[in-house]
Amino acid sequence: MFKDPHMYNLSILAIETSCDETAAAVIEGDPRIKSNIIASQAKLHARYGGVVPEVAARSHITAIIPTIDLALKKAKTKLSDIDYIAVTQGPGLMTSLMVGIDTAKALGAALNIPVIPINHLEAHIYANFVEQNIKFPAVILIVSGGHTLLVEVKGHGKYRILGETVDDAAGEAFDKTAKMLGLGYPGGPMISKLAKNGNPAAFDFPRPMINSSNFNFSFSGLKTAVLYKVQQLKSLNLILKSNLAASVQQAIVDVLISKTEKAVKQYKPKTIMLGGGVAANSLLRQRFSLLAKSYKLNAIIPKLEYCTDNAAMIGLAAYYRLKTKKAIRQLADKNFGVEPNLKIK
């Protein structure tokens, strides 16, 4: 049964299982996040130094129903009150995505309500819409372990990719550097913490493509430069590790801010936004705010809980799709499947 989103206060159950976080949320009203539950697998994968797809999928299977139950309980909502189910279709790990989609479809069939497939990258855009009134056009920098891209947002559901990574993502560069320094997984937060006591000018690492005329990114060369420097140093004490962390972080953030500034100059947005796990990096958040201030722009930076993979952003993306009627065409396709390499359209 389809409820017209313009006539009803919607109640959306959102599910996210794109990688190693099992998440569920309930979105209601105009919109309000009634609950946002995340069951993290970070400790589980730490022993392997990174996410193991098979291990992640098995953990999702075990955690997904309890996570949904907890989200409903915290929201004080029953399954029978839910009008729509939103679920991540991609991009992400195939086996992880399958758990979320299969669960969403099963619940949708049992409750006789529509299931809306959501693009995970689009959802990172909507993490910025939590209690915020966004002025369009906007430019968002999405930075995570698997993706680095700049997107122009002309309105709800109206996107244009300005640039993306041609090889490794910024988050991967953080994680691989952390592994080289023996810091463990997840690497990004550990690099950020260690960098606070380091000298960002201690090592002059390359800033790949920082002066290119386009908006694309590349971090494989930086990653290789770090590897060579670590091999050259041979023995690493805490001071060297801190200096390496600070220097790598500085190089990555310099590139991200430089590309964003170029986009600001060319496309003249009213708002700039951040999204993705790397958006939790304190230096990036600080530099991003300063960039916005220097151009007198509205800067939206999500709270830390909405930077990492979460289901609230999936629910918000679904809500605005329904409000703009973009989701109605999708609802006719009940046979949608997993799209591990899904792009923003």
Instruction: Give residue-wise pLDDT tens across range 201-242.
Output: 999 999 999 999 999 999 999 999 999 999 999 899 999 999
**Quick one: tokens of 273?**
């936004």
Contact 110, 13 (CB under 8 A): no
pTM as predicted: 0.93
Q: Three-state SS for 33? A: strand
Q: What angle do CA 258, 259, 263 make, to 5 degrees?
A: 115
* 171 closest CA partner among 20, 6, 334: 20
**Quick one: tokens of 99?**
């758990």
Spatial distance between the Cα atoms of 334 and 283, rounded to a whole number of angstroms: 43
Give the residue range(s) of CATH 3.30.420.40 domains in the chain.
10-126+307-331, 136-301
Q: Is the pLDDT reported for residue 324 higher than 50? A: yes
Q: Three-state SS for 4? A: coil
Q: For residue 7, what pLDDT band results from cuts at 50, 70 and 90?
A: very low
Enumerate residues 6+ apart whose C-beta is below 8 A from 173: 219, 222, 223, 226, 248, 252
For residue range 47-88, list pLDDT tens digits in order.
Answer: 877 888 899 899 999 999 999 999 999 999 999 999 999 999
Q: How many residues does the chain have?
A: 345
Q: Tokens 């946002």: give the residue.
A: 36
Contact 148, 175 (CB under 8 A): no
CATH 1.10.3470.10 fits 136-301, yes or no: no
CATH topology for the 10-126+307-331 domain: Nucleotidyltransferase; domain 5 (3.30.420)
Spatial distance between the Cα atoms of 83 and 233, rounded to a whole number of angstroms: 59
